[in-house]
Amino acid sequence: AALTRMNADDELHAAGVKTIIVVEGKRELTTQMAYYCRGRMKDIADVKAMFAAAGLWALTDKEATTPSTWTLKSRHLDGKAVDLAPSNDGKTVWWGAPEAVWQRMGAIGKTFGLVWGGDWQQKDLPHFEEAPDAT
């Protein structure tokens, strides 16, 4: 319902958003472990090997040294989180969207009772998850 509402939002459309894309939903543990290795393992080749073993994309050296998650207990693991991102062409993620776009997406998600990663100290703008007490 939150995704449908975001895709129908006039403010997002006026800001140049064509559609909101689901980047990732439920994750396998191997994927979470590979993400967690980024920026933590000393040998970049080991990080790249973790990504390859998880069936993920080939990382650049910069990606391999940049942390992308702060936990091994992600709500993605049990299917209670999703990463959503704007697209200005309907096909690719618009990572450089203005802050107002992300804020609007976050506000819409929160009206549906979702926790938004943009409110966290270590911001995760695309991340939305069920509230911990949701059933």
Q: What is the pLDDT of residue 134?
A: 61
pLDDT tens digit sequence for 80-129? 999 999 999 999 999 999 999 999 999 999 999 999 999 999 999 999 99
**Are the C-beta atoms of residues 125 and 73 closer than 8 Å to each other?**
no
**Whole-prediction pTM value?**
0.91
> Strand runs (DSSP E) across 1-135, as ranges?
19-24, 81-87, 114-116, 127-130
Q: Please count the CA atoms within 13 angstroms of the CA of 10 that sit on its side-chain side.
A: 0
